[in-house]
C-alpha cells in the first residue's frame, strides 16, 4: 500500500456509511469462524501504542491481528516507553511506523493525539481513544452490535446516559447515530452534559437539532435534574408545526447506552446519585424492547443482576469487537477490498482545514496542541461557519468564536462583518478572538492612523 493510498481511522467520519455497512458484512463472515482467516494478513505487524490503560481495546486488536495471520508488538505502559524520557508522539510514530510495524493503534490521554499520529506516521493509524475526544472503533463495535440486534439503524431511538461530557465513546457514537438517521435521547448526570462542541458539530454537519424531552418512568435514571434532550435531524421541524409543543415525550426506547463516570478526567467531582440500570428499571414499560449497552468497564452503573437479562448485550458488544476490528485492519492494510464509496467532506477532510501560527488558539486544556505538540504544531482549524466566524480545532474539535478578521499582508484587523473584512482574500485571513489578541500579534485596527 503506497503512501498516497494510506487510510487512517482517526474519527468515525473517516469511513463513509457505505464503507461501515460493508465492514459489518465482512465482520459477519469473519465471525462465522474466527480461526479460518489466518491467510488474510500473513507477515503484517500491528503495533499497539497505548499511553493509557486498556483491556478490551488493546486485547481485541491484538487478537484480531493474530487471527488474520499477522503479528503484534506492543507498548502497553507509557512509563516503559521513551515518552517517559520526553519523546514526542510525533517522533514515536515515525520510528514505530515503518520497519517496526505496518499499522499502528494509538491510545493517548490528550484530545487530538490520534490526528497527530496519523499526520506523522507513514503507515495507517487507528485511533484507540484520544482523551475525551473520540473512540471510533468502539463506535464501529457499538453500531455493529445494534445493527445485528435491531436489523437497522435508521429511526431508532437511542438513549445516551451518564457522563456525556468526558466519554469519548459517547461523542463518536452520537456522530455515527446522526449519520445513520437514528434519534438520540440524552440523559446526562447533572454537570456532565454533552459538550457544546459536540452539539455544534451535530447541528452544523448533520442538521441535528435539540429540543427538551420528557422521559417516562425510568426509575434510577430519569429525574428532573437530568435535563433530557431529544436530538433528531427531522422531527423537530415537524413537531414545530404544533405551536403548543414545549417538549418531546419519549414513548419508546430501542437501546440505552450507559457510560461510567470518567473519573480519570474529572478527579474530585462528586458523582453521588449517578444513574444506574437496575432490575427495577428493566421492568419499566419503556424498556420492553430496549437493549442495554455499555462500552465497559463498568463500575456501579449497571447492577450485576441485570447481566442475565437477554436484553443486556454489553458482553456481546465486547465479543463483536474482534471481528469488526479484523475487518477494519484488513481493509486499511489493503488485504481486502470493499465495494463502497469513500467519505465526502466531513470534519476529517484536510481540505477543510487551515493552519494559523498566529491568531485564534484552541482553549481546550486537554488538547495535544496545548501540551507536547506546542513544540512542533501550530494552531490549526477548520471553518464551521463564516458569519459570524466559528472555527473548530482540527485536532480536538473545540469551538473558537472569532470577532475580528486580520489581513496578513496589511497587518490590519477589521470587524468580521465589515466590508473591509470581506475584501481580504481567504489565503491572507487570520482570525482573532479579541482586539487585545490582535494587537499583541502586531496588528493595527483598520481605523488606526
* pLDDT tens digits along 121-173: 999 999 999 987 888 999 999 999 999 999 999 999 999 998 888 888 888 89
Check if the beta carbon of residue 292 is closer than 8 Å to that of residue 193.
Answer: no
Per the structure block, which three cell numbers stand in for 60?
A: 481485541
Q: Quickly list DSSP for 270-308.
A: --TT---B-HHHHTSGGGTT-EEE--S--SSSB-GGGGG
Task: Give the pLDDT confidence score for residue 91 in this predicted structure.
Answer: 93
Q: Quickly list DSSP for 33-91.
A: -GGG-TTSSTT-EEEEEESS--SHHHHHHHHHHHHTT-EEEEE--GGGSGGGGT--HHH
* CA-based nearest residue to 159, from 231, 261, 247: 231
Rounded to two decimals, the pTM is 0.87
Reduce the DSSP state of residue 332 to 3 states and report it: helix
- Domains with residue ranges and CATH for the chain: 3-135+319-332 (3.40.50.1370), 137-314 (3.40.50.1370), 350-445 (2.30.30.20)
Check if the beta carbon of residue 404 is closer than 8 Å to that of residue 417.
Answer: no
Strand locations in 207-347 (E): 209-215, 229-232, 248-250, 255-258, 291-293
* pLDDT tens digits along 41-98: 999 999 999 988 788 889 999 999 999 999 999 987 656 666 656 789 999 999 999 8
Q: Which residue has the cell 486498556?
A: 54
Is beta strand 429-432 parallel, antiparallel or unpaired with respect to 404-407?
A: antiparallel
Check if the beta carbon of residue 292 is closer than 8 Å to that of residue 314.
Answer: yes
* pLDDT tens digits along 113-124: 999 999 999 999
Distance between CA atoms of residues 220 and 257, nearest Å: 14
Q: Which residue has the cell 496578513?
A: 408
Amino acid at each position: 500500500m503506497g503512501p498516497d493510498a494510506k487510510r487512517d481511522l482517526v474519527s468515525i467520519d473517516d469511513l463513509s456509511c457505505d464503507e461501515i455497512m460493508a465492514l459489518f458484512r465482512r465482520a459477519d463472515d469473519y465471525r462465522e469462524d474466527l480461526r479460518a482467516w489466518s491467510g488474510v494478513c500473513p507477515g503484517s505487524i500491528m503495533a499497539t501504542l497505548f499511553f493509557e490503560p486498556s483491556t478490551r481495546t488493546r486485547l481485541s486488536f491484538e487478537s484480531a491481528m493474530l487471527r488474520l495471520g499477522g503479528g503484534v508488538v506492543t507498548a502497553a505502559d507509557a512509563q516503559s516507553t521513551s515518552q517517559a524520557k520526553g519523546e514526542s508522539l510525533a517522533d514515536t510514530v515515525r520510528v514505530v511506523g515503518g520497519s517496526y510495524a505496518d499499522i499502528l493503534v494509538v491510545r493517548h490521554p490528550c484530545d487530538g493525539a490520534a490526528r497527530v499520529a496519523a499526520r506523522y506516521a507513514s503507515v495507517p493509524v487507528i485511533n484507540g481513544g484520544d482523551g475525551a475526544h473520540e473512540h471510533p472503533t468502539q463506535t464501529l463495535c457499538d453500531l455493529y452490535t445494534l445493527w445485528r440486534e435491531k436489523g437497522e439503524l435508521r429511526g431508532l431511538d437511542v438513549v445516551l446516559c451518564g457522563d456525556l461530557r468526558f466519554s469519548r465513546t459517547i461523542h463518536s457514537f452520537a456522530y455515527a447515530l446522526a449519520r445513520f438517521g437514528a434519534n438520540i435521547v440524552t440523559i446526562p448526570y447533572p454537570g456532565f452534559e454533552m459538550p457544546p462542541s459536540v452539539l455544534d458539530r451535530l447541528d452544523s454537519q448533520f442538521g441535528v437539532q435539540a429540543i427538551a424531552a420528557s422521559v417516562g418512568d425510568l426509575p434510577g435514571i430519569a429525574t428532573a435534574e437530568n435535563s433530557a434532550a431529544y436530538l433528531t435531524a427531522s422531527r423537530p421541524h415537524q413537531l414545530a408545526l404544533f405551536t403548543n409543543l414545549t417538549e418531546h415525550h419519549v414513548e419508546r426506547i430501542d437501546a440505552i447506552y450507559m457510560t461510567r463516570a470518567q473519573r480519570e478526567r474529572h478527579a474530585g467531582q462528586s458523582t453521588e446519585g449517578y444513574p444506574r440500570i437496575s432490575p427495577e428499571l428493566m421492568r419499566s414499560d419503556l424498556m420492553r424492547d430496549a437493549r442495554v449497552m455499555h462500552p465497559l468497564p463498568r463500575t456501579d452503573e449497571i447492577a450485576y443482576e441485570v447481566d442475565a437479562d437477554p436484553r443486556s448485550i454489553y458482553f456481546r458488544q465486547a465479543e463483536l469487537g474482534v471481528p469488526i476490528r479484523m475487518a477494519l485492519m484488513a481493509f486499511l492494510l489493503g488485504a481486502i477490498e470493499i465495494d463502497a464509496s469513500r467519505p465526502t467532506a466531513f470534519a476529517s477532510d484536510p481540505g477543510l482545514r487551515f493552519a494559523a501560527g498566529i491568531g485564534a488558539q484552541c482553549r481546550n486544556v486537554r488538547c495535544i496542541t496545548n501540551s507536547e505538540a506546542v513544540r512542533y504544531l501550530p494552531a490549526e482549524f477548520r471553518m464551521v461557519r463564516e458569519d459570524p466566524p466559528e472555527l473548530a480545532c482540527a485536532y480536538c474539535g473545540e469551538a473558537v468564536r472569532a470577532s475580528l478578521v486580520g489581513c496578513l499582508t496589511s497587518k490590519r484587523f477589521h470587524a468580521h462583518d465589515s466590508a473591509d473584512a470581506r475584501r481580504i482574500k481567504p489565503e491572507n485571513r487570520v482570525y482573532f478572538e479579541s482586539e487585545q489578541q490582535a494587537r499583541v500579534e502586531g496588528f493595527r485596527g483598520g481605523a488606526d492612523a
